[in-house]
Every structure is written in C-alpha cells, then in structure tokens.
Structure 1
Amino acid sequence: MDSTEITVATWNTEWAPTAGRRGPHVRERLADASADILVVTEGSRGLLPDGGYVVDAGNDWGYDDKPHHRKVLLRSRWPLTDVDRLTTGGGAGRVVTALTAAPAGPIRILAVCIPWARAHVSTGRRDATAWSEHLDCLDQLDMLAPRFDPSTPTVVAGDFNQRIPRVLQPARVADRLAEVMGRWTIHTAGDIEHGPLIDHVASNLTCTGVRTWSGHVAELKLSDHSGVVCRLAPVRH
C-alpha cells in the first residue's frame, strides 16, 4: 500500500456484547480490518481493537440504553483533535467529527449513524413520523459540512441507513441523501460483495480498493449489517 494511503472501515455491530459467542468474533473482524480509521455504530469500546485514539458521539440519542452503549464510536490510529458532536435534533448522539493527524496531513472525519426510518416513531420518544428523524439529521449534516476547511480532506463513514442506489426507501429520502452527500464520492454504493450496503464510506479522496465482510460466521449471526473497509489516497492533480 502507498505510504500516503489510509484505510477506513465501518460496521454496525448491532449491540454485540463483548462476551458470549458474538463478541470475540466481532472484535476479531474489526481488528482484521487493520483500519487506520474505524467507525463502529451500535457498539461499545470493548469491541474496538487495542490502542489508538477513541471518541464517541455521546450517550443520549433519545433511548434508554446500557451505559456503555454508543451509537457512534470513532477510533483513529493517530491523535484526534477539534472534536465536535451534535447534541440536538435527529443527529443527537449520532454524529461526531474530528481531525486526525494522518502522516500525509490532517483529515477531517465525520462519523455518523443516521437514524433509521422509524426512529422515535413507536419507540424512544414516540414523537416522530416515518423518516422524519433521518431527514432532520441529513439537514444537520448539510449545515455542518460547509464549516469544514475545504483544504482539508474529508472522510464520512458510518451507518447511512439507506441502500445506494435506492431500493425501498421513498424517492424524496434517497434524493435528500444524494443531495447532502453530493459534495463527496460514496465509495461503497452500487453492486458490491455482501451488499447492497447501508454502512458506507464517502470522501473527497481517491478510493483504490474496497473489501467487505458478511454479518455471519458459519451459522452464527454477528450483525444484521455487512462491514466494509476502503483504501483511500490523495487526489492526484
């Protein structure tokens, strides 16, 4: 791998416990990704590879949950600075951004777990309608992104809760995601092994390779999501 490339992986681990049958397998798969940047959604710190630098999106996304659970965890091989989280609206507890000090220069990481279609409809606060929390989070991301320094590369990773291109989601929802993410290339869209994915990696870097893994090992279900790792390189001019 080129010394200027980085690897970025993401996986929704569906609240896998650190013990029991699932936990060790999940932790092994995350470690095997050998990612410089790792975004784990619906997980806990005990699942992350040893070492590195870790921040999360906070512990309040409107649901009562176990104290160690986090909707979004961001782990970097390099130090993280300029950390910011969304604390209100659809992105509360689901969005964290930070700068990582990669060897070739700083990179802005935007780690997300965009709400699923029925977030807070019949569970949680029970004050939402279908897709309303999802769309509100997208609106927040649309306002957040212009604040990023355009001279610093950006990587977006996590659970987008939409298949790309559109499968079953309403056209207006797919169109809004495309509009918000249009400032980056979604490297994990389209026909891909173990896809179509809803865990995605997007950036304004060049993708030189994509690898996915299944949410199962033999007969054991590890997650209802597939995981993915991308190799990213600076754009050549």
Structure 2
Amino acid sequence: MDNTEITVATWNTEWAPADGPRGSMVRQRLSTTAADVIVVTEGRRGLLPDGGHVVDAGDDWGYPRKPDRRKVLLWSRWPLTDVDRLTTGGAAGRVVTALTAAPGGPIRIVAVCIPWTHAHVSTGRKDATAWSEHLDCLDQLDTLAARFDPAIPTVVAGDFNQRIPRARQPVRVAARLAEVIDRWTIHTAGDVDHGPLIDHVASDPTCTELRTWPGHSTELRLSDHSGVMCRLMPAEPTS
C-alpha cells in the first residue's frame, strides 16, 4: 500500500458483547478489515483490534449509562491527538474528532453516531420530537466543521442514520444532511453491496476501493447494520 493511502472502516455493532460467539465474530470481522482507522458505533472497546490507539465520544448521550458501552469509538493504528468531543444536545456522546498521525501526514477523523428518528422522543429524556435530535447533531457538526483547518484532509465516518440518496426520511432531513456533508464526497452512497447503507464514509481524500460486509454470518445475526471499508488517497500537497 502507498504510504499516503489509509483505510477507514466503520460498523454499528448493535451493542454486541465483547465475549461469546457473536462478539468473537464481530471482533474478527473488524480485525480482518486490516483498516488503519476504525469507527465503531454502539460498541464496546473489547471488540476493537489489539494495540492501536483509542478515543471515544463519552459515556453520556442522555440514556442510562452503562460503563462498557459507547455510542462512538475511534480506533487508529497511529497516535491520536487534538481530540475534541461534542457534549451538548443531539451531539452529546455521539461525536468525537481527532488527528491521526498517518505516515503521509495528519488526517482529521470525525467519528459520528447521528441520532435516529425517535431519539429521546419516548425514551431517554423524552423531551424531543421526531428528527429533532438528528437535526441538532447535524447543526453542531456544521459548526464544528467550519473550524477545521482546510489544509488537513478530513474523513467523516460512522452511523449517519440516513440512507443516501433519500429513502423514507423527510425531504428537509435529507437536505440538511446533504448541506452539512457537502464539504466532502460520500463514498458509500447509492447502490453498493449489502446496501443501501446507513453507516457511511465521507472525505475529501479520494476513495480508490470500497468493500462492505453483511450484518450476519451463516450461523449468527451480528448486527442490524452492514459494515463498510474505504481505501482513501489524500491529494498531493501543492507547493
């Protein structure tokens, strides 16, 4: 692999336990991606590959806390610096950014688990309306991204909780996601194997390879999501 390329994988593991047959198979699938960066949503640290560097988005997203659960985990084979977490509203516990020290130069990773339609409507805080937490998270992502250094390549990965192009979500919700993500190319949109996906990878680096895997094996249901891996090639710096 060219040392300027990186591979980024993401998968919502639907709170798979870290042990037992299901956890073992989830962990194996994540490890066999051989990705340089992995974003796991609705996951546990015990599912991540050995070694590497890990940060998470925090343990408070407005629901009862469970010590080993995180909405967002970011694993990198290289050190992570400049870590920033969003801690309010629909983004609390659901967004973390960091710079990974890739051999070709730093790359900003934005790891997300954007709230689903009915987050905090009839569960959790019970103070939201359909899509309100989702839209608030997108607004906060928009503000966050506006502060990024444009000289540093950016990758956004995780659970977007929307199919792209729009399926059943309201037009205004799909349009807001498109506005926020318009800074980058969504490599996982449209007709892909094991899709349509709601776990996505978007970036300004170019995607040169995309692979997906289903949320089940022959024997077991592993997750209600398919996973995805992208090989990315950052643009050559200009002099």
TM range (shorter): over 0.9
- Opposite residue 5 of structure 1, the aligned amino acid is E
Partner of 1:90: 90
TM-score normalised to structure 2 length: 0.98
- Opposite residue 114 of structure 2, the aligned amino acid is I
Task: Report Cα offsets for 1:182-218 as digits up to 9, x if no partner.
Answer: 0000000000000000000000001000000000001
Instruction: Report the number of matched residues.
Output: 237
Matched, 1:139 2:139: yes
Report the alpha carbon displacement of residue 86 of structure 1 after superposing the two structures with TM: 0.5
Partner of 2:229: 229
Partner of 1:116: 116
Gaps of at least 5 residues in structure 1 are: none
Task: Report Cα offsets for 1:65-98 as digits up to 9, x if no partner.
Answer: 3211000000011000000000111000000000
Partner of 2:62: 62
Matched, 1:204 2:204: yes
RMSD: 0.9
Partner of 2:45: 45
Report the alpha carbon displacement of residue 2 of structure 1 after superposing the two structures with TM: 2.2
Partner of 1:155: 155
Deviates more, 1:161-170 or 1:16-25: 16-25
TM-score normalised to structure 1 length: 0.98
1:14, 1:195 → 2: CA distance?
17
Report the alpha carbon displacement of residue 19 of structure 1 after superposing the two structures with TM: 1.6
- Percent pairwise identity: 78
Report the alpha carbon displacement of residue 56 of structure 1 after superposing the two structures with TM: 0.1
- Opposite residue 56 of structure 1, the aligned amino acid is D
SS of the residue corresponding to residue 28 of structure 2 reads helix
Q: Segments of 4+ in structure 1 off by > 2 A?
A: none
Partner of 2:23: 23
SS of the residue corresponding to residue 212 of structure 1 reads strand
Aligned counterparts, 1:69-108, within 5 A: 69-108=69-108
Report the alpha carbon displacement of residue 234 of structure 1 after superposing the two structures with TM: 1.6
- Opposite residue 54 of structure 2, the aligned amino acid is V
- Opposite residue 174 of structure 1, the aligned amino acid is A
Partner of 2:180: 180
Report the alpha carbon displacement of residue 219 of structure 1 after superposing the two structures with TM: 3.5
Task: Report Cα offsets for 1:150-174 as digits up to 9, x if no partner.
Answer: 0000000000000000011001000
Partner of 1:171: 171
Report the alpha carbon displacement of residue 34 of structure 1 after superposing the two structures with TM: 0.7
Task: Report Cα offsets for 1:91-131 as digits up to 9, x if no partner.
Answer: 00000000111000000110000000000001000000000
Report the alpha carbon displacement of residue 3 of structure 1 after superposing the two structures with TM: 2.3
Gaps of at least 5 residues in structure 2 are: none
- Opposite residue 58 of structure 1, the aligned amino acid is G
Report the alpha carbon displacement of residue 48 of structure 1 after superposing the two structures with TM: 0.2
- Opposite residue 42 of structure 2, the aligned amino acid is E
Task: Report Cα offsets for 1:124-147 as digits up to 9, x if no partner.
Answer: 000000000000000000000011
